[in-house]
Chains A and B, each alone.
Chain A
Amino acid sequence: AQTVTQSQPEMSVQEAETVTLSCTYDTSENNYYLFWYKQPPSRQMILVIRQEAYKQQNATENRFSVNFQKAAKSFSLKISDSQLGDTAMYFCAFMKYNYGQNFVFGPGTRLSVLP
């Protein structure tokens, strides 16, 4: 079974600074997807970024980028120029290619952006 680990339960960062959230996973699969979801206090789950395992290039979405290390099974999220609105729980998630039953979330990292 796949597992997803986020070793930082809580983090904080000053506004405009850069922060990196770590995620590691365990799988024997070769094809899969990785995601970062954000859950602000409003509770809404919002997709931040996704990465296909077969792509070597790291995904980027504006201020959000990932460092995907397939051999190390690591998938960290970097947030540049942090904004107050980035304050949220961040969940790393793994999904086996084309099989929704292997959609597994990590325990989450609570990020606070400080003014």
Chain B
Amino acid sequence: DTAVSQTPKYLVTQMGNDKSIKCEQNLGHDTMYWYKQDSKKFLKIMFSYNNKELIINETVPNRFSPKSPDKAHLNLHINSLELGDSAVYFCASSRRLGVEQFFGPGTRLTVL
């Protein structure tokens, strides 16, 4: 009965590879987000989708591409991984824009 789930929880990969992180929410929320938390614990929003439409696209490299096949899923695909991409990536969802967000458990990405 997990509300927001992410797979995988840990991802270790080589520089230059392409990888995806999946996120699913079973809360019936309309809005989903991706955040990056760096090694200093700083959380920064990357993307937000509302009803499958991209509404926030912060300044992130275009190697990062979100995909929302339906309202319950928001996947993050990363091309040509770099060392600086190592971080914890959190997916979150909210009933709509402007209300509190429910976070997934995070995916720790390590790029070697």
* Interface positions of A (Cβ within 8 A of B): 33, 35, 37, 39, 42-47, 50, 89, 91, 95-101, 103-105, 107-108
Residue pair B98, A97 in contact (C-beta under 8 Å): yes
B41–A44 contact, CB under 8 A? no
In the bound complex, residues from chain A placing their C-beta under 8 Å from that of B40 are: 107
Chain B min CB distance to A43 (Å): 5
Cα A103 to Cα B97 in complex, Å, equals 10
Interface centre among A35, A39, A96 (most CB of B within 10 A): A39
Is B101 interfacial (CB-CB < 8 Å)?
Answer: yes
Q: CB distance A100 to B98 under 8 Å?
A: yes
Determine the main DSSP class of A at the interface with B.
Answer: strand
Beyond A39-B41, A45-B106, A47-B101, 15 extra complex contacts between A and B, CB < 8 Å? A43-B88, A43-B105, A45-B90, A45-B92, A45-B103, A47-B102, A91-B43, A97-B98, A98-B97, A98-B98, A100-B50, A101-B56, A103-B101, A107-B40, A108-B43
Inter-subunit contact A107/B42 (CB<8 Å)? yes
**How many whole Å from A110's CB to the nearest CB in chain B?**
8
Is A100 a contact of B94 with CB atoms below 8 Å? yes
Give the interface SS of chain B, mostly helix, strand, loop or mixed. strand
Contact yes or no, A100 B55, CB < 8 A: yes
Give A3 to B58 CA distance when docked, in angstroms. Answer: 15
Nearest 6 interchain pairs by C-beta:
A45-B103, A98-B98, A105-B43, A101-B56, A100-B97, A43-B106
* B36 → chain A closest CB, angstroms: 11
Closest chain-A Cβ to B96's Cβ sits at a distance in Å of 8
Chain B, residues 4-46, CB within 8 Å of chain A (1/0): the string is: 0000000000000000000000000001010000001111110
